[in-house]
A and B are shown apart, each in its own frame.
Chain A
């Protein structure tokens, strides 16, 4: 019997990876035609795994998949695409040095005789961009475009291949509030045109806002399907985590003392001649969390790079407890007590082919504690890894597991575990909770506050406005490479006020801003 109401029926899906991880254990997943269906669950619950099977990138160990009433065996993405399924992956699947148009037509190139018809490729791109209201620059190289546009290219890539069922795996994790709002408009637009959308996100507000129904997963099993309007955010997180989650952080008032990080007159012009940092000056003190708010691309990324010597400023000084950072090797910077949770965890956070253990000791393997003469003390190293895995609740088989095979959120936990446990004096946390489930987010936030109250200076950069406002003791807003505002006390702030400074409509006086230097 073909059931016309459902476009996708996944029945009794089991998936055991070759390393023995049972990522899906008898999951039932049904999606109705023309709905936006959320797939939710903790990090490592098996969401991406389930979706990869629907897109033919992984094969189920057992179970059946029915698409449009027809039983299918999805052996490769090509087959899935031919069934009208498209997927936007958790980590971008674009070729950076190719143009947007080339990425769009890759694998289905329009031809003129023997050659690619590049003009046609641009035309196709523009036509689809217009039809679906997803504006992209067809001739730009992907490496040069902002994340928001990359996300649109990914969606267009699926649409141009004739997808009617769109899987979006955490599409909003890398987007700013504005970009998310825009994306949602586009998704609703698509839904109105009869597309079916499967949407994975850890952000409960978004789920409530945009989806019709939701399926919750936990530990590789389905916890049931719900009408979004009938279920509260609290209930969702309880079903996901198995307990109540409190995302508001209780924190005592900060008692900041000496300046730890001192940044003065930092300037940087990038290779496209854009002034990304413009006479930037601020200080972070012992025992406080200084938040950096602002629309992405206003100098945050450049600042963080400079603070860890991943890039060199054109002018200005950076010191940590009086010691120069600019041009100092990262190892020395770490010895000064600086730790970094990078925005791009796959590139700067981990070595994905290494084991969890290798990754967590990568900053401390030379310590006496882990060495016996010229050799490693493997017992000490195993013990340390096991301790960290337990403390930070990393979902894995054991410390030998390859980090690249962990779920997105658990990779982040490995990074956080290493960076928080190295006795830091200054933590630079760039999007620390990106792509992390509510339970783990709660944990990381608590830990950050705890560390700061113990006397660590924290610089928190986050695109999540709620997060910066909630977590920071004081806060600066970045606009156009400058500090547009400094708020000594974050408890008086609201979204609207912040929005005005973030969009450059308002700016504090120089004296007011100068206070962040604490001189």
Chain B
């Protein structure tokens, strides 16, 4: 059986699927990274993405244009992120509660809105056609190279965008004035305030950026990954992204690697579930198992220093 799994992992379509599966998690993880850097915990990623997934398909359908669909998802993402900001920063509610509220509202809210706007119940399968989905691109030259071409070419536009965004977020955080302010606000907001930085404004900005990423992530799910909207579509990706943010130590590149790890686990699950004699329950737990293992490894590495000291001490006694 292990042999079977081994041969699967080394197939190009498996590696290809890792990137496809990683992209939405990565979008959400970047959303978490930016918000967390500004000291705001956006726990509402899951719910915001669900709203975005819905409006992405709806607008694409209304305008018969996938691009406008994606842009609308982004706008909706920003709207809900700012809504959380409004409750937390303006009305002083707890930001975690505001996030939870959005998450809870999303599952019922999307069904309601969908029905209200279209009369459809629960999913949009009837509304979408392949031309309303996010298109894939063949990268010239690259797609001629064996293996590499199969893995890297032919992804959806947004998959590439996700990985490019890692770099852009890094630039934003470490090379621009707004990034410096975001980091300062997140670390010591009194210090930032005392030099005249508008702390609340910066937090809104960070939330808005995280909203953009939720929009892209949500649109990716409904307009490419699942090809239509239903309420179970996000399936915990918003929460996995929070874990990816933490495991990546809050850095964009770190978050990318942890997202890839989750992507790998998910891809494996999809593959292995086809094999005879493997418990499907066990397999569906795999991505979450990987989350836990990742967390343990991370915690262990920070503990190492302390352990080394203790070991030295014992030696000396």
A, B co-complexed: yes
Which of B148-156, B187-195, B254-262 sits within the interface? Answer: B187-195
Asked whether any CB of chain A lies closer than 8 Å to the CB of B101, the reply is: no
**Which of A57, A97, A157 meets B187, CB within 8 Å?**
A97
Asked whether any CB of chain A lies closer than 8 Å to the CB of B183, the reply is: yes
Q: Which residue of A lies closest to B177 (CB)?
A: A109
Which residues in chain B, 171-218, are within 8 Å of chain A measured between CB atoms? 171, 175-177, 179-181, 183-184, 187-188, 190-198
Please measure, in the bound complex, the distance between the C-alpha atom of A26 and the C-alpha atom of B105, giving whole angstroms.
Answer: 51
Known contacts A95-B191, A96-B188, A313-B313; A106 and B175 CB within 8 A of each other = no
Q: Which residue of B lies closest to A115 (CB)?
A: B175
Q: Which residue of A lies closest to B196 (CB)?
A: A78
With a cutoff of 8 Å between Cβ atoms, the chain A residues found around residue B191 in the complex are: 92-95, 103, 106
Q: Is the CB of A314 within 8 A of B312?
A: yes
With a cutoff of 8 Å between Cβ atoms, the chain B residues found around residue A115 in the complex are: 171, 175-176
Q: Is the CB of B197 within 8 A of A107?
A: yes
**Which of A93, A109, A111 meets B194, CB within 8 Å?**
A93
With a cutoff of 8 Å between Cβ atoms, the chain B residues found around residue A157 in the complex are: 195
Q: Is the CB of A116 within 8 A of B180?
A: yes
Q: Mark A305-340, 1 if CB is under 8 A from B, else 0.
A: 000000011111000000000110000000000000
Known contacts A93-B190, A96-B187, A116-B180; A106 and B195 CB within 8 A of each other = yes
Known contacts A87-B194, A95-B187, A314-B309; A106 and B316 CB within 8 A of each other = no
Please measure, in the bound complex, the distance between the C-alpha atom of A189 and the C-alpha atom of B265, giving whole angstroms.
Answer: 64
Q: Which residue of A lies closest to B189 (CB)?
A: A95
Which residues in chain A, 263-317, are within 8 Å of chain B measured between CB atoms? 312-316
Asked whether any CB of chain B lies closer than 8 Å to the CB of A473, the reply is: no
Which residues in chain B, 290-317, are within 8 Å of chain A measured between CB atoms? 306, 309-310, 312-313, 316
Q: Which residue of B lies closest to A315 (CB)?
A: B316
**Which of B183, B306, B312, B313 meets A98, CB within 8 Å?**
B183
Asked whether any CB of chain B lies closer than 8 Å to the CB of A114, the reply is: yes
With a cutoff of 8 Å between Cβ atoms, the chain A residues found around residue B313 in the complex are: 312-315, 326-327
Of residues B184, B187, B195, B309, which shows the largest number of chain A Cβ atoms within 10 Å of its Cβ? Answer: B195
Known contacts A98-B183, A109-B180; A312 and B310 CB within 8 A of each other = yes
Asked whether any CB of chain B lies closer than 8 Å to the CB of A456, the reply is: no
Asked whether any CB of chain B lies closer than 8 Å to the CB of A77, the reply is: yes
- The range of chain B's interface size is 20 to 34
Please measure, in the bound complex, the distance between the C-alpha atom of A286 and the C-alpha atom of B115, giving whole angstroms.
Answer: 79
Q: Is the CB of A327 within 8 A of B310?
A: yes
Q: Which residue of A lies closest to B186 (CB)?
A: A95
Q: Is the CB of A107 within 8 A of B306?
A: no
Please measure, in the bound complex, the distance between the C-alpha atom of A313 and the C-alpha atom of B187, giving whole angstroms.
Answer: 29
Q: Is the CB of A77 within 8 A of B188?
A: no
Interface of A is mostly: loop
Please measure, in the bound complex, the distance between the C-alpha atom of A109 and the C-alpha atom of B181, giving whole angstroms.
Answer: 9
With a cutoff of 8 Å between Cβ atoms, the chain A residues found around residue B179 in the complex are: 116
Q: Is the CB of B183 within 8 A of A95?
A: yes
With a cutoff of 8 Å between Cβ atoms, the chain B residues found around residue A107 in the complex are: 181, 192, 195-197
Which residues in chain B, 192-250, are within 8 Å of chain A measured between CB atoms? 192-198
With a cutoff of 8 Å between Cβ atoms, the chain B residues found around residue A57 in the complex are: 193-194
Q: Which residue of A lies closest to B317 (CB)?
A: A317
Which residues in chain A, 46-94, are within 8 Å of chain B measured between CB atoms? 55, 57, 76-78, 81, 87, 89, 92-94
Please measure, in the bound complex, the distance between the C-alpha atom of A103 and the C-alpha atom of B171, giving whole angstroms.
Answer: 19
B94 to chain A, nearest CB (A): 13
Q: Mark A94-123, 1 if CB is under 8 A from B, else 0.
A: 111110001100111101001110000000
Please measure, in the bound complex, the distance between the C-alpha atom of A57 and the C-alpha atom of B195, giving whole angstroms.
Answer: 11
With a cutoff of 8 Å between Cβ atoms, the chain A residues found around residue B193 in the complex are: 57, 77
B190 to chain A, nearest CB (A): 6
Asked whether any CB of chain B lies closer than 8 Å to the CB of A203, the reply is: no
Please measure, in the bound complex, the distance between the C-alpha atom of A315 and the C-alpha atom of B313, giving whole angstroms.
Answer: 6
Known contacts A312-B306, A312-B313; A95 and B188 CB within 8 A of each other = yes
Please measure, in the bound complex, the distance between the C-alpha atom of A299 and the C-alpha atom of B179, giving whole angstroms.
Answer: 37
With a cutoff of 8 Å between Cβ atoms, the chain B residues found around residue A114 in the complex are: 176
Asked whether any CB of chain B lies closer than 8 Å to the CB of A161, the reply is: yes
B198 to chain A, nearest CB (A): 8
Known contacts A93-B188, A315-B316; A76 and B180 CB within 8 A of each other = no
Q: Which residue of A lies closest to B191 (CB)?
A: A93
A469 to chain B, nearest CB (A): 35
With a cutoff of 8 Å between Cβ atoms, the chain A residues found around residue B312 in the complex are: 314-315
With a cutoff of 8 Å between Cβ atoms, the chain A residues found around residue B196 in the complex are: 76-78, 81, 107-108, 161
Sample of 19 more A-B contacts, CB < 8 Å, known A108-B195, A109-B177:
A57-B193, A78-B196, A81-B195, A93-B191, A93-B194, A95-B191, A97-B187, A98-B183, A106-B197, A107-B181, A114-B176, A115-B171, A115-B175, A116-B175, A116-B179, A313-B313, A315-B312, A326-B313, A327-B313
22 A/B residue pairs, CB under 8 Å, sorted by A: A55-B194, A76-B196, A77-B194, A77-B196, A78-B198, A89-B194, A93-B194, A97-B187, A98-B184, A98-B187, A106-B184, A111-B177, A114-B176, A116-B177, A116-B179, A161-B195, A161-B196, A312-B309, A315-B312, A315-B316, A327-B310, A327-B313
Using a CB–CB distance below 8 Å, which chain B residues touch chain A? 171, 175-177, 179-181, 183-184, 187-188, 190-198, 306, 309-310, 312-313, 316
Smallest CB-CB A-B distances: 8 pairs: A78-B196, A109-B177, A93-B191, A107-B195, A93-B194, A312-B309, A95-B184, A107-B197
